Amino acid sequence: MRRWLPCLLLIALSCRGGAKWPLVIGSKNFTESVLLGEIVAQRLEASGCPVERRLNMGGTFVCDAAITSGALDSYVEYSGTALTAILKQPIPADPSKVDPAVREQYRRRGLVWGPGLGFNNTFAMIVRQSDAQKLGLKTISDLARVADRFRPGFGYEFAARPYGWDGLLKAYGLWFSNSPRTMDLGLTYKAVAAGDVDLIAGNSTGGLIASLSLVVLTDDRHYFPPYAATIVSRADLDGKCPGARAALDKLSQTIDDATMRRLNFEVDGRKRDVAVVAREFLATLRK
């Protein structure tokens, strides 16, 4: 009986204090996603939840497969990506219907969609500022004038997804002489700035847009759906660490577009450590 006492005592303490298991937090393989994953991880740790980080995992489908299988407990996804790439649903005419549609479909998958962080990181067609000024490029429609000579270059996901490059060409009636080069998303900004390509599909919250003298073209036909950054998590999150969901809810609407651009620039432009940038941001929420 004596040898069972330590085990019984441990069980009793666990029941009284609430069982806590490490929450596995992931991210995709680009700066913003890694930074948001770190913010989520530190927020949970501050609430008393132990965390295991699996940041910089890969693309959308890697993270989605991991969270649906239970290998991940939470990561940050984007509403437009969830709707079109993961759920393979058409874009509704009313953009306000995207988030409710995704939330319901994720509920059926045993996942919780939310809270939203407060910013919209939509795809952005980006060119060099010098080209925009010289060629009068202000909108995506204006690309028709340079499509015979511009060299596009995109991240793998944008080149492959239905609502990516091929869909954009159809929506705008464009035809490019040069086939797009594909590369890691993080390399596209420097590629266009260096003149290796002339057009990229970046993120509207990219931290390098201003510092590399790049320009975002206006989506004048409203092709891209909203890409609201949202924390997605497994429904049993509180079962692993009581209070985890309440901790994540405190991140609701705390990051606007300008703040996200600034945070991204701290990492990409100033080469600062992701964990330090995340810690400094979270400190501002406590003031």
Question: 156 near 59, Cβ under 8 Å?
Answer: yes
146 Cβ neighbours under 8 A, 6+ residues apart: 131, 135, 137, 198
- The CA distance from 285 to 199, in Å, is 37
**Are 116 and 139 contained in the same domain?**
no
Give tens-digit pLDDT for 163-211. 789 999 999 999 999 999 998 887 899 999 999 999 999 888 988 898 8
Helices assigned H by DSSP within the chain: 5-17, 31-46, 60-69, 79-81, 98-108, 129-135, 156-160, 165-172, 185-194, 237-240, 244-249, 257-268, 274-285
Q: List CB contacts of 142: < 8 A, sequence separation 6 or more.
A: 135, 136, 217
* Whole-number Å distance between alpha carbons of 287 and 158: 39
The larger pLDDT score, comparing residue 287 to residue 110, is at 110
Same domain, 103 and 241: yes
Tell whether 222 is covered by a domain. Answer: no
Q: How many structural domains comprise the chain?
A: 2
Q: Which tokens hold the place of 16?
A: 């009284």
Q: What is the pLDDT of residue 4?
A: 42
Instruction: Specify the pairing of strand 181-183 against strand 152-155.
Output: parallel
pLDDT one-digit tens code per residue, 144-159: 999 999 999 998 878 8
pLDDT computed for residue 284 by the predictor = 94
Structure tokens at 107: 């509920």
Question: Domain residues for 95?
Answer: 2-121+227-285
pLDDT at 95: 86
pLDDT on residue 287: 62
Q: What are phi and psi of 115, to 5 degrees?
A: -85, 160
How is residue 267 written in tokens?
């990492």
Compute the average pLDDT of residues 215-224: 92
- 111 with 129, same domain? no
Predicted confidence (pLDDT) per residue in 86-136, tens digit = 999 988 888 889 999 999 999 999 999 999 999 999 889 999 999 999 999
Looking at the structure, tell me whether residues 13 and 104 fall in a common domain: yes
21: phi then psi, degrees, rounded to nearest 5? -115, 150
pLDDT for residue 238 is more than 70: yes
What tens digit of pLDDT does each residue of 31-90 get? 999 999 999 999 999 999 999 999 999 889 999 999 999 999 999 999 999 999 999 998
